[in-house]
Structure 1
Amino acid sequence: MSRIFVFNWISVDGIFSGPNGETDWFTVDPELEKANLSGLDRADTILFGRTTFKMMEAFWPTPGAAAQYPEIAAYMNETAKHTFSTTVDNSNWPHSFFHKALNRDTVNGIKETAKKDIVILGSGSVSMALQELQLIDEYILLLDPQLLGKGMPFFKNAGPTALQLLDTRTFPSGIVRLHYKVVP
């Protein structure tokens, strides 16, 4: 069965987005972009919350995204995207599916349809809900060398969880990619 992993940027003080959901603080690093691209084929399914879905939907299907990031745009447009929302239930973005409830049964149903692993990109509310359900298998965290001071904490209300470090990599910008496996 597919494994679920989180792939998310966080600041040193544990913030994953600014107070209004902004992500303009992410440090850009060409070497990191190349490394991230090489790992995309691990997952054929993405889980989103409404806010992240709408943000991604506004960019990735556009000609500008295809021109600026052709490989990532192709991946984002061809990959199955499952969004948990009580207010959004359709999109013209290909391969988009919508679920009103985020629960163990719904997630297990998605896992049965995935041929590869499942990734959560951003989507703090989905990550937090799956943390509570103990359905996350791995975390890949991009630790950005910044203290934001305020914003949305990534591990808000997370219960005790043992993690095993699988890999680290430091990039020229100072970003450290931390790859952890959840210890059952």
Structure 2
Amino acid sequence: MRSVYAFLLTSVDGYHADADGSTEWFTVDEEFEEYSRSQGDHIDTIVMGRVTFELMASYWPTPEAYEADPVVAGFMNDLPKVVASRTMTEHPWGPTTFVADGLADHVRELKTAPGKDIAVFGSSSLVAELLPTGVIDELRVIVDPVALGSGTPVLAGLAGPLPLRRTDVRSFANGHVLLTYAPTLP
């Protein structure tokens, strides 16, 4: 069975976006880029919410994206995407499947098919919705050493406490810390 992991960014004070909704505060360096590129070796499907999808669709298909990071642009553009959306049904950035309702069931079905892992990139509120369903096997949270003071909390909307078991910690030279957890659902 395939595994599903969610990869989220957060500030040290727990925000995935600043007060303006931006993630421009997140620092990127070569070590982070290497980590990002390596994710493409292990996945063959990307899941995201509509807002994240629109943000990524505005960047990854561009010549600037291919120039800045051809490896990530390659897998972001080529891999199938599953997007949770009640308003979108098609988009030229493909291959893309839009799911209005029942995303957890859709992803659960994908897990049973042969293939590599499935990644949920960004989409913090979607991750908060999916975590309690048991469809996400691993939560990867990279903490940037910046305090924002306000913004959108990571995992905003999570319904109740959800116990997690830490499975790994990785420190990056620029101060990032990647925390990896497995949900411990009853």
Query: Do the structures match in fold with TM over 0.5?
Result: yes
Residues 1:162 and 2:153 aligned together: no
Q: Paired residue for 1:178?
A: 179
CA offset at residue 67 of structure 1?
1.0
What are the within-5 Å matches in structure 2 for residues 33-72 of structure 1? 33-72=33-72
Q: Paired residue for 2:90?
A: 90
Q: Tell me the TM-score normalized by structure 1.
A: 0.91
**Aligned partners of 1:97 and 1:112: how far apart in 2?**
17
* Bigger shift: residues 36-45 or 153-162: 153-162
**Aligned partners of 1:100 and 1:132: how far apart in 2?**
19
Amino acid in structure 2 at the alignment position of 1:51? V
Amino acid in structure 1 at the alignment position of 2:174? S
The list of structure 1 runs, each at least 4 consecutive aligned residues, that deviate by more than 6 angstroms after superposition, is: none
Q: Paired residue for 1:139?
A: 139
* Bigger shift: residues 170-179 or 99-108: 99-108
What are the Cα deviations for residues 22-80 of structure 1, in whole angstroms up to 9, with x where unaligned? 11010122112112212322221111111000000011111111111000000101111
Asked if 2 retains the 8 angstrom alpha-carbon contact of 1:10 and 1:144, the reply is: yes
SS state at 2:58 partner = helix
Amino acid in structure 2 at the alignment position of 1:176? V
**Aligned partners of 1:88 and 1:44: how far apart in 2?**
22
Q: Which runs of 5+ in 1 are unaligned?
A: none
CA offset at residue 114 of structure 1?
6.0
Q: Tell me the TM-score normalized by structure 2.
A: 0.91
Asked if 1 retains the 8 angstrom alpha-carbon contact of 2:108 and 2:135, the reply is: no
Seen in structure 2, the aligned counterparts of structure 1 residues 120 and 169 have a Cα distance that, compared at 3 Å, is same
SS state at 1:59 partner = coil
Q: Which runs of 5+ in 2 are unaligned?
A: none
SS state at 1:115 partner = coil
**Aligned partners of 2:81 and 2:47: how far apart in 1?**
6
The alignment-based identity, stated in percent, is 37
* Bigger shift: residues 99-108 or 125-134: 99-108
Q: Paired residue for 2:19?
A: 19
Seen in structure 2, the aligned counterparts of structure 1 residues 79 and 105 have a Cα distance that, compared at 3 Å, is same
